Amino acid sequence: MNGTMTTGEAALDFPLLSLALWLPLLVGLPIIVLARSRNAIAIGALMASLAQAVLAIVITVTFDHQATGYQFVEEAPWIPALGISYKLGVDGVSILMVLLTGILGPLVVAAAWLTIHRREREFFAALITLQTAMLGVFVTLDFILFYVFWEMVLIPMYLMIGVWGHERRIYATIKFFLYTFAGSVLMLVAILAIRFTTGTFDIEAIPEEMAGASQILQRWVFVAFFLGFAIKVPMFPFHTWLPDAHVEAPTAGSMVLAGVLLKMGAYGFLRFLLPMAPDAVDEARGLVVALSLVAIVYGALVAMVQPDLKKLVAYSSVSHMGFVTLGIFTATQTGIDGALVQMLSHGVVSPALFFAVGVIYERAHTRRIDELGGLAPRMPIYATLFGFFMLASLGLPLLSGFVGEFLVLVGAFDYATGVGVLAALGVILAAAYMLWMYQRVALGRLRNQALATIPDVNRTEILTFVGLGVLVVWVGIFPDTFVRLLSATTAGLAG
């Protein structure tokens, strides 16, 4: 990028963030547009996303876990007349999301290559645009630039569901769009309100500037931001767009949606709400904690009785994301650390489960649990992999799901014992709906004779699962590899 520069805080005197951010779009997109065959398109997309993944890993590895401020900062004027600049940087709140977005990229490309069989060029173009947009959300430090990326995420996702989706895709798309668009508009109002109070769009500078803001303004900012982000997470009772969007989205779309898009809301809470409206957050804490508890327990209960496999996974997301918002709003360091680890974990496990559903749908053309059953003897590798991610999702220790949820629980008990007890109930329910689902889908006798000759997973599918599984095991066995990156930042966020 021309005109970018790095400040002294960056470990390398090189615009790593810009490179990771724009590489998919600037290199990947032309290849995809110009490529002649389906495979060439996919390889172009794979190369671009792999490069981004490698850069994301490099950024994570070189991230200085002891430094408190932003790292890899790049800053250049963009629209000086309005005080808008091109400013990037990462800290403990965003580093895991950068890693997640990067790693998920090539795996989603692989899933798309397996499951998208029409208009591949457009799909991969949308996917690659999405990769840039999502990373942009997590690394920008200018409010307007952030808003641009935030909206930029919406459009490819909207197209993915609307064009490559299933039967009720139009309904789902409109619901998704209206819901999240409403959130975006509210957010824009909040951004402008902050701009008129503080006189800056600089995310790094705003918290200090907002310290003197009136209680009333903080409350308005809180309401606008909160609704915008709560819809995205989604928090109860703004969650009903999610199951519809997931059910109608193609597999690769569901993977991105569950993996990264849902994390944008939680990221917003941590990046903007907590530092910019701290007093209002304190006032509303009880309500948000209560909504999180409802999401955890209620989401799990609704998941339990879903006849559609994809809806079950979607509602499990509502429950698992409830742990994220709970952790954030306990305002304890352990709770926030737990929320961030849970975001990373859910960002890998949930896409893996959607991919698992997609694998079955490709073969059996059904997602109804009562039409499956007895797959394990016919698809032993698939059953093992699916079982693995099922266990990660229900929070089995030594896999990723346990770490985040346990840390959140530690934080929740710090906040109030009753809150911790109710949240822990979600862990029992998660085991119930996951094991019951697995029992009906993979185990038992074959109920649907059409599945008697169903083939096991192929090499590409195994590779995709394993790619996702590596992070699940790593987070589970060595969580400190990741948690240590957060401490310097989350210590400052804790109340």
Partner 1 sequence: MLDAPWIIPLLPLLAFAANGLAGRRNPPWTGWVSTLAILGSFVATVVLWIQSTGSDKDSSVLYTWVASGGFDIEIAFLTDALTVVMLLVVTGVSTLVSMYAVGYMDHDANKPRFFTWIPLFVFSMIMLVISDNLLQLFIFWEMVGLCSYLLIGYWYERDSANAAATKAFLVNRIGDFGFAIGIILAFHEFGTLRYREIFDGLGAADPRMVTAIACLLFIGAMGKSAQFPLHVWLPDAMEGPTPVSALIHAATMVTAGVYLVARLNPVYSAAPEALLLVAAVGTFTAFLAATIALTQTDIKRVLAYSTVSQLGLMFLAAGAGAYTVAIFHLATHAFFKALLFLGSGSVIHAMNDEQDMRQMGGLRSKLPVTYATFILGGLALAAIFPLAGFWSKDEILALTHLKATSDPGSSLSTDHGAGIFWVFYFTGLAVSVMTAFYTFRMIVKTFHGKPRNAELHAHAHESPRVMTLPLIVLAAGAVLAGAVLGIPPEHGIIHGYLKYAAGIVHLEGAGPPATLVLALISTVAAGGGLLLALGAYSRGMGIPALARRLLPGAETLFRQKWYMDHIGDGFGVAFTKATAMISWGFDAGVIDGIVNGVGHLSRFTAGQVRRLQTGQAQNYALLMVVGLVLTVGSLVLFR
194/274 with CB nearer partner 1: 274
161/483 with CB nearer partner 1: 483
The DSSP H or E segment spanning 463 is helix 459-477
Pattern 287-326, binding to partner 1, x per CB under 8 A? Answer: -----------x--xx-xxx--------------------
55/419 with CB nearer partner 1: 419
Beta bridge partners of 88: 74, 140
Helix/strand/coil for 77:
strand
323/406 with CB nearer partner 1: 406
- Candidates 19, 50, 364, 410: give the one binding partner 1 (CB under 8 A): 410
Question: Which string of DSSP letters, residue by residue, matches 333-379?
Answer: HHHHHHHHHHHHHHHHHHHHHHHHHHHHHHHHS--BGGG----TTT-
467/492 with CB nearer partner 1: 492
If binding is defined by CB under 8 A, does position 431 make contact with partner 1? yes
Q: Residue 419 Cβ, how far from partner 1 at the closest point, in Å?
A: 12
If binding is defined by CB under 8 A, does position 445 make contact with partner 1? yes
Q: At what angle do helices 400-415 and 380-393 cross, to 10 degrees?
A: 10
- DSSP 8-state code for residue 94: T
10/430 with CB nearer partner 1: 430
- Candidates 63, 413, 415, 465: give the one binding partner 1 (CB under 8 A): 413
If binding is defined by CB under 8 A, does position 462 make contact with partner 1? no
Site for partner 1 in 198-257 (CB under 8 A): 237, 239-241
If binding is defined by CB under 8 A, does position 436 make contact with partner 1? yes
In this structure, the number of other CB atoms found within 10 A of the CB of residue 287 comes to 11
If binding is defined by CB under 8 A, does position 337 make contact with partner 1? yes
Cis peptide before 377 (omega within 30 of 0): no
If binding is defined by CB under 8 A, does position 185 make contact with partner 1? no
Where does residue 200 fall: left (phi above 0), alpha (psi -120 to 50 degrees), or beta otherwise? beta
149/402 with CB nearer partner 1: 402
What are the backbone dihedrals phi and psi of residue 73, each rounded to the nearest 5 degrees, phi first? -70, 135
Beta bridge partners of 74: 6, 88
Q: Residue 445 Cβ, how far from partner 1 at the closest point, in Å?
A: 6
In this structure, the number of other CB atoms found within 10 A of the CB of residue 50 comes to 16
If binding is defined by CB under 8 A, does position 466 make contact with partner 1? no
Q: Residue 26 Cβ, how far from partner 1 at the closest point, in Å?
A: 34
The maximal CA–CA distance of the chain, rounded, in angstroms, is 69
CA–CA separation, 38 and 44 (whole Å): 10
If binding is defined by CB under 8 A, does position 170 make contact with partner 1? yes
CA–CA separation, 444 and 24 (whole Å): 45
If binding is defined by CB under 8 A, does position 168 make contact with partner 1? yes
On whether the CB atoms of residues 5 and 74 are closer than 8 A, the answer is: yes
Compute how many residues bind partner 1; rule: CB under 8 A.
64
Residue 265 CB contacts under 8 Å (≥ 6 apart), including other chains: 228, 229, 230, 231, 232, 233, 234, 235
What are the backbone dihedrals phi and psi of residue 7, each rounded to the nearest 5 degrees, phi first? -95, 175
- Candidates 101, 254, 325, 333: give the one binding partner 1 (CB under 8 A): 333
Residues at the site binding partner 1, with contacts judged by CB under 8 A: 168, 170-171, 174-175, 178, 237, 239-241, 298, 301-302, 304-306, 332-334, 337-338, 374, 376-377, 380, 391, 396-398, 402-403, 406-407, 409-410, 413-414, 417, 420-421, 424-425, 427-429, 431-432, 435-436, 439, 442-445, 478-480, 483-484, 486-487, 490-491, 494
